[in-house]
Amino acid sequence: MGALSSRMSWNRVEEPGAPEREEEAEEVAVAAIEEGEESEEARPTTSQGRHKRKTGPGRQLTKAPCGKRAKDSLGSVYETLFLRGEGSDVQIRALGEEWNLHKVNLCQSGYFASMFSGAWRETTMTTVELQMPDENIDCEALHEALGSLYRDSVLIPRGRVVPMLATASMLQLDELIEQCREIMKDTVNVQTVCSYYYSAECYGLQDIRAMCLQWLLDNLMTRHNEELLREVSLDLMKEVIASSELFVMEVEMDVYTMLKKWMFLQLQPTWRGPHRDLLPDADSWFAGSRQESEGTAFLETEQGRAFVPVFQQLRLACIISDLPSARIIDQDALIPATWLSPVYKEQWLALLRAEQTRELGPTDVCVSDLQRTSMRCGGRLYRDEQCSWRWAGFNFGWDLAVYYANRRIIFKHSALNKSGGLAVSLLGQRKVAFRLRLASLDRAGRAILRRETEYQVLSLGKDEELEVVNLENEHVVFPIYVTCSFLYLPREGRFPE
């Protein structure tokens, strides 16, 4: 595949004799017009892609006219040369169909320009058989792509953008690729995001790939959609879960629960039922598997090994710090004990550090630690009214609460632990490294508003509070999704004295 061009014009391939062939093509078209060929409006439809064009989602792109398209405003060049094949000097065969075409037109494609020049055997052939190694290319898309070489505009319906992108990429039609890119930018949603991501990755549209990945980071946990979970591949899910940009709703345990549902749907793709039944059915299925494997952790079984790289992205230390969550992890027996034992040891030693060394917390920001090991948690603001969050789990003596009031988000270090825990640090001052992000999403899942703080260290005394985000002058659309990353103790290679 050739390099993609962002210009809105054709990349012409000049070769010896090309101007003469253009003149010949124009003479054929003019002669056909003078003989009274049918107009575009009277054009019959056939099964070979000669369909009446439907209006609907899609984008029309106008090409700069060139010599052989001088009469294209009447539709006669497309009708005469492409559909009827007048004056054809080469026949293209593919996917069980035939097209009588013209090398001068085909050479606008980088693919055909290379084929018909130099020492290739196809240079002198009058019939060319095309092999289609890409299953995304179908006959309709190939017909439209070839026809685009004979007219000034192409209308691509939203539902046809992936086959058209695949075909345009093979034929190296830069302008058609750009048109597909623009359509994909405008139509990323829960139904299209995965297919667009895989296509963008396959055909080199890095900006579309990044856009789809960001959509998944924003939406995978903010909306519950079984069809979306079915479409997310192992590699894609690994990338999403590992990312520090994932919008985690509630706590890390909810990431685990989502992965359990996703793994069940990957293994049982025919499952159908109401959303409320998905988790119980998944638990029941994994319990049956556990009995069959005589208690072997599922990720150590033959079926489960493929999912190991995904579950390795979980921040287990943030899960086992909450007793109910730790009990579920033990009961599910999806995760091997060999994964959990070092985490329990690490968390116990961290507890002793917090209790016996009177450590205040991080003194500076270590971005890699925050991105890889911080506690991820979040919540929803459904409407513009006062709200607060405290997340379950042992937080090393911190009772750090997040408040929303008067369009401000505030962190507060409470002197009394009102969240139900027993351990409250008696230290007058505590520090925590954090980052806060928020987003408001439209119905398609695209961000209307996005705000975030830098990675930073927060120092608070007892009952002290700090305004972190102010939305007073922002146009806010609810709900708003808020996600935080907290690091209470720095990772150390030795114990402090």
Positions in the chain short of pLDDT 50: 1-74, 417-424, 426, 493-497
Q: Phi, psi (5° rounding) for residue 363?
A: -100, -20
Strand (E) or helix (H) holding 434:
strand 429-441
Tell me the residue type at 146: L
pLDDT the model gives residue 7: 27
pLDDT the model gives residue 116: 87
- Rounded CA gap, 292 and 130, in Å? 50
Strand, helix or coil for residue 333: coil
Tell me the residue type at 103: K
Handedness of CA 265, 268, 269, 271 (dihedral sign): negative
Task: Estimate to the nearest angstrom the gap between the alpha carbon of 152 and the chain centroid.
Answer: 32
Tokens of 16: 């010896």
Tokens of 45: 């439809």
pLDDT the model gives residue 224: 87
- Rounded CA gap, 50 and 273, in Å? 41
Alpha helices in 187-274 (DSSP H): 193-203, 206-219, 226-231, 234-242, 252-267
Nearest to 143 by CA among 135, 152, 133, 154: 154
Tokens of 74: 């009447």
Q: Could you report the per-residue pLDDT of 338-383, keeping only the tens digit for each? A: 999 999 998 888 888 777 776 666 666 778 777 888 889 999 999 9
- Rounded CA gap, 339 and 312, in Å? 9
Geometric angle at alpha carbon 122, from 118 and 128, rounded to 5°:
150
- Non-local CB neighbours of 77 within 8 Å, separated by 6+ positions: 29, 68, 69, 71, 150, 151
pLDDT the model gives residue 428: 57
Nearest to 410 by CA among 490, 318, 488, 484: 484
Beta bridge partners of 379: 482
Number of neighbouring beta carbons within 10 Å of residue 102: 23
CB 406 within 8 A of CB 472: yes
Tokens of 62: 């106008």
> Looking at residue 65, what DSSP letter applies?
P
